[in-house]
Amino acid sequence: MRFLLRVLAIFIAVSALLSMVRRMLAVLASPRAEHPLRSSAGGRLAKDPVCGTYIPVETAIQARNQFFCSEECRGKYLGA
């Protein structure tokens, strides 16, 4: 009986340890949510409302307070 209790205790301990390791790995693998609107170069990013692409504000095409990655997306948004 003691043997079965020891095996059960070891199984529970190993399961708990594996669960903690999996959670830690999931947190480390998830993208950081520090500041999603900053590019790696430090510039501000804007999301194109048509295709959903994030583009640097400095190079984006702007119309009606929106930023676009291309003239094609701007035309689709404005209905041209």
What confidence tens digit (pLDDT) does each residue in 9-25 have? 999 999 999 999 998 88
pTM comes to 0.48
Contacts of 58 (CB under 8 A, 6+ apart): 43
Shared-domain flag, residues 6 and 24: yes
3-state secondary structure of 25: helix
Number of domains in the chain: 2
Distance of alpha carbon 65 from alpha carbon 49, whole angstroms? 11
Shared-domain flag, residues 55 and 79: yes
Shared-domain flag, residues 67 and 45: yes
State which residues form the domain around 1: 1-30
Shared-domain flag, residues 46 and 10: no
Shared-domain flag, residues 48 and 77: yes
> Nearest Cα to 62, choosing from 53, 50, 71?
71
**Does the pLDDT of residue 37 top 70, yes or no?**
no
